[in-house]
């Protein structure tokens, strides 16, 4: 019987046949796909024909399609619906894949042919896009160690394999800690909690097969618990567990993994001729060098810390007036900030949440895409990997554009956070392929499911990434969609968040779950007026994480990352009552893989641009100005990585922004 992962997918739009794929299919499919890819690479490397763009670069673009299909399915289910079998497969696959790609980058005959095409580029009459793909291919080989030889080449291969294994271990340890910890609540412990938190706690207890409510380490449950529980002892217990993820000792402790990872990254960078990993990593980003990153972060840090410290004084006074003496602690901040928000803005999250139904917010994200880009999303009834998932066909002018899959609810088998990935990326070579894009979130279940305002912002954020994938219009998959500089990739997603704050969008889609009535004008004004509430806290917890990440990589690797983390925070004057958004043992952005290592700053780098980009709409005809929308698609959303990120932004806006737009947008300086 043919392995369904390797057979032709006779499904609508060639979506993976999830109903026919079993866990036991993955390992044999991977072995066969790896063998096929090796044969394709050998054919390119050993060809007797003179090297050309077609028989080297385009041949590389066309190779590995079977492997891509197997991995797209596997990593989708491994991240969003894991089980012990899939976790074991992931531990097995990671070093195999690292070795496979190291073998390709170390193939001397292949690199010689790539280099020959690169050297002859001026004579080849290539298009701009082809020149870009050639440059990126050649640079990728060089940066992965293709020019190394002898012991250095062998060591590079070892490092890559070990880093892949460590990244998988880090992820699985974190998932295990998040999955295993919970705090049971008595009926008395529910006093003071709004209905939506009680419902979420009961649903979490039911998922774990328990008879009563629990608090888990799902962000969509623990954050509102910290906001609303009047029980300071329970808040402390929950907060400490949240911050201790990956640092509980035993088999799931990530601290030694982080230390080894940092040392291997430094060694990798030095083998390639760089002083440290940050120099290596940032060379291909918009920022280019660590000094520019540090300068941006410190420009934001000082006003953010000043705001946070002023806020801490107010919250401390509120706590003391409640008869609680001593210092404001991290497990107090959310609780008193919520009280303050209710007092200052008369905005009660429990009253707000019924207006933020998940289904209506999905409709809102889709409706904005329709007004801006003419996209229509129609429900698709196809088998998916979990009953929670939904699918839509994306259409424009009657033509198929993409398939979009949404997987919105938290569960024990799903890693924390939210992300967007392409199960298939847009391309026109070697044949036309329309994208299949997935958004994965971790919202609390309910009937109906209700979101916090932050949840709704996350939904828009991830759909912004999805638009970047769906509207891609390039020839080659290697530069498609979100295949851009890491500090540019967050621009479309963070920019799309702004449409959630457009009053007419909230008026239409923020309707009450029971009455169907639109959000009252007074509440709407409070929501928008409170948009910058607690930005000192939010900015401090983010920037501190970004500065620790940079410090880890911009210099010799620390012997003890926890000691280095403490040193950086002390030098910054980190406020006592605020913790890092991602402390080292659960900093998955940095240690689960290479993606955001030395690059966590990129959210803020992109935010400098997104604040300025949305201002371009406001300066024109408003949030739905058709000319600005067309320019956004033409210069940014459709172009993928076909040009340098700075060039793309200049084409859209005509200039690069300063940090002032970000500071004003966050309310950290006067507008």
Residues with a known catalytic role: 462
Of residues 541, 547, 599, the one with CA closest to residue 571: 547
Of residues 188, 192, 230, 193, the one with CA closest to residue 212: 188
Residue with tokens 């300086």: 669
HSE of 282 in the Cβ direction (CA atoms, 13 Å)? 23
Strand partners, 427: 433
Reduce the DSSP state of residue 255 to 3 states and report it: helix
Q: Which run of H or E residues covers position 408?
A: strand 399-409
- What is the pairing mode between strands 436-443 and 182-184? unpaired
All residues at 6 or more sequence positions from 207 whose CB lies less than 8 Å from its CB, including other chains: 411, 412
Q: DSSP label at 385?
A: S
Q: DSSP label at 390?
A: E
Instruction: List the helix and strand counts (H, then E) for the chain.
Output: 27, 7
Q: Which run of H or E residues covers position 420?
A: strand 419-424
CB-based burial, 388-405: b 16+ in 10 Å, e otherwise: bbbbbbbebeeeebbbbb
Cβ atoms within 10 Å, residue 646:
14
Query: Most distant CA pair in the chain: distance in Å?
Result: 83
Residue with tokens 């042919």: 113
Residue with tokens 């109903």: 19
Q: Tokens at residue 33, please?
A: 């796909």
**Distance from C-alpha of 508 to C-alpha of 298, rounded to nearest angstrom:** 40
**Distance from C-alpha of 104 to C-alpha of 124, rounded to nearest angstrom:** 25
Q: Is the peptide bond before 448 cis (omega within 30 degrees of 0)?
A: yes
**Distance from C-alpha of 439 to C-alpha of 433, rounded to nearest angstrom:** 19
**Distance from C-alpha of 606 to C-alpha of 488, rounded to nearest angstrom:** 6
Q: Which run of H or E residues covers position 41?
A: helix 23-45
Rg (CA), the chain: 25
Of residues 566, 501, 575, the one with CA closest to residue 536: 575
Asked whether the beta carbons of 254 and 173 are under 8 A apart, the reply is yes
Burial (CB count <10 Å: 0-12, 13-18, 19+), residue 538? middle
All residues at 6 or more sequence positions from 339 whose CB lies less than 8 Å from its CB, including other chains: 318
Asked whether the beta carbons of 573 and 305 are under 8 A apart, the reply is yes
**Distance from C-alpha of 380 to C-alpha of 438, rounded to nearest angstrom:** 14
**Distance from C-alpha of 345 to C-alpha of 528, rounded to nearest angstrom:** 10
**Distance from C-alpha of 85 to C-alpha of 132, rounded to nearest angstrom:** 41
**Distance from C-alpha of 604 to C-alpha of 610, rounded to nearest angstrom:** 9
> How far is residue 431 CA from its own chain's centroid?
29
């Amino acid at each position: 019987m043919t392995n369904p992962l390797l057979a032709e997918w006779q499904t609508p739009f060639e979506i993976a046949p999830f109903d026919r794929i079993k866990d036991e299919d993955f390992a044999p499919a991977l072995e066969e796909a790896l063998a096929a890819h090796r044969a394709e690479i050998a054919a390119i490397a050993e060809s007797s024909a003179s090297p050309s763009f077609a028989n080297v670069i385009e041949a590389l673009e066309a190779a590995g399609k079977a492997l891509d299909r197997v991995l797209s399915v596997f990593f989708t289910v491994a991240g969003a619906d894991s089980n012990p079998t899939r976790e074991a497969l992931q531990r097995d696959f990671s070093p195999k894949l690292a070795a496979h790609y190291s073998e390709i980058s170390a193939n001397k005959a292949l690199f010689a042919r790539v280099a020959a095409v690169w050297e002859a580029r001026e004579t080849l009459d290539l298009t701009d896009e082809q020149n870009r793909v050639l440059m990126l291919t050649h640079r990728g080989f060089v940066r992965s160690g293709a020019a190394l030889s002898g012991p250095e080449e062998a060591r590079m291969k070892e490092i890559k394999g070990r880093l892949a294994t460590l990244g998988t271990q880090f992820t699985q340890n974190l998932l295990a800690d998040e999955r295993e910890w919970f705090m049971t609540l008595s009926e008395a412990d529910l006093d003071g909690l709004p209905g939506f938190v009680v419902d979420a706690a009961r649903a979490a207890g039911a998922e774990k097969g328990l008879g009563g409510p629990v608090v888990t380490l799902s962000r969509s449950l623990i954050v509102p618990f910290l906001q609303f529980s009047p029980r300071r002892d329970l808040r402390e217990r929950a907060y400490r567990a949240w911050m201790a993820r990956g640092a509980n000792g035993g088999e799931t402790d990530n601290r030694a993994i982080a230390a080894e990872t940092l040392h291997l990254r430094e060694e990798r960078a030095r083998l390639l001729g760089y002083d440290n990993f940050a120099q290596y990593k940032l060379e291909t980003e918009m920022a280019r060098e660590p000094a520019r990153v540090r300068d941006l972060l410190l420009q934001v840090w000082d006003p953010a810390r000043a705001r946070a410290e002023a806020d801490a004084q107010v919250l401390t006074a509120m706590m003391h007036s409640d008869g609680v003496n001593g210092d404001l602690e991290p497990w107090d901040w959310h609780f008193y900030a919520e009280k303050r928000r209710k007092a200052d803005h008369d905005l009660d999250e429990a009253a707000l949440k019924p207006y933020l139904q998940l289904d209506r917010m999905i409709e809102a994200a889709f409706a904005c895409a329709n007004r801006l880009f003419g996209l229509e999303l129609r429900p698709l009834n196809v088998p998916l990997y979990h009953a929670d998932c939904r699918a839509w066909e994306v259409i424009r002018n009657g033509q198929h554009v993409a398939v979009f899959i949404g997987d919105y609810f938290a569960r024990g088998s799903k890693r924390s956070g939210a992300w967007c990935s392409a199960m298939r990326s847009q391309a026109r070579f070697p044949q036309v392929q329309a994208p299949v894009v997935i958004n994965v979130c971790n919202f609390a279940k309910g009937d109906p499911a209700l979101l916090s305002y932050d949840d709704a912002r996350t939904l828009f954020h991830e759909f912004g990434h999805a638009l970047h994938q769906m509207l891609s219009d390039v020839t080659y998959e290697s530069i498609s969609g979100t295949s851009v500089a890491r500090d540019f990739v967050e621009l479309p997603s963070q920019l799309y968040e702004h449409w959630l704050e457009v009053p007419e969008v909230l008026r239409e889609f923020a309707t009450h779950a029971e009455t169907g009535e639109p959000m009252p004008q007074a509440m709407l004004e409070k929501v928008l007026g409170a948009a910058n509430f607690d930005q000192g806290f939010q900015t401090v917890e983010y920037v501190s994480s970004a500065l620790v990440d940079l410090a880890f990589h911009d210099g010799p690797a620390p012997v003890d990352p926890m000691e280095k983390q403490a040193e950086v925070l002390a030098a910054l004057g980190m406020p006592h009552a605020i913790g890092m958004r991602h402390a080292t043992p659960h900093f998955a952005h940095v240690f689960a893989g290479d993606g955001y290592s030395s690059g966590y700053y990129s959210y803020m780098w992109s935010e400098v641009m997104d604040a300025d980009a949305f201002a371009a709409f406001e300066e024109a005809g408003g949030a739905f100005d058709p000319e600005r929308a067309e320019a956004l698609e033409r210069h940014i959303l459709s172009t993928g990585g076909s040009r340098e990120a700075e060039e793309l932004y200049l084409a859209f806006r005509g200039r690069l922004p300063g940090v002032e737009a970000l500071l004003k947008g966050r309310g950290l300086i006067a507008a």
